[in-house]
Amino acid sequence: MTDPADWMDPVDDDILELLCEDEVFEPSQIRDEGICRGPHAAYRCRELAERGLLENPMTGVYDITDLGERYLEGEVDPADLEANEE
């Protein structure tokens, strides 16, 4: 993995790694794994989705993107990722 960017939180790598598992899609599952509290997991998932590392196909459901997988493999510098302006 690469060095984290200023916008990243210490739990982001753990969240991305967990969401690589096919059966994990919701912030409540991140909470259940003890990574962080549910509201913080939801907030971090939204931030990671804004940066393109996760996708949000429906409310409360997230999946890792190809970009997110490339980040975990150390191929993407998170400092280069800008938030989507919506």
Q: What is the CATH number of the domain that holds 50?
A: 1.10.10.10
Q: What is the pLDDT of residue 85?
A: 57
Residue 42 lies in a domain: yes
Tens-place pLDDT, residues 33-79: 999 999 999 999 999 999 999 999 989 999 999 999 999 999 998 88
Residue 82 lies in a domain: no
Q: How many domains does the chain have?
A: 1
Task: Establish if 57 belongs to a structural domain.
Answer: yes
59 is a domain residue: yes
Is residue 24 in some structural domain? yes
Binned at pLDDT 50, 70 and 90, residue 32 comes out as very high
Distance CA 64, CA 56 (A): 9
Q: With CA atoms as reference, report the closest residue to 63 among 1, 4, 12, 16.
A: 16
Give the structural domain span for 40: 12-74
Whether 5 maps to a domain, the answer reads no
Tell whether 83 is covered by a domain. no
- To which H or E segment does residue 63 belong? strand 61-64
Model pTM score: 0.88
Question: How far apart are alpha carbons 18 and 29 in whole angstroms?
Answer: 9
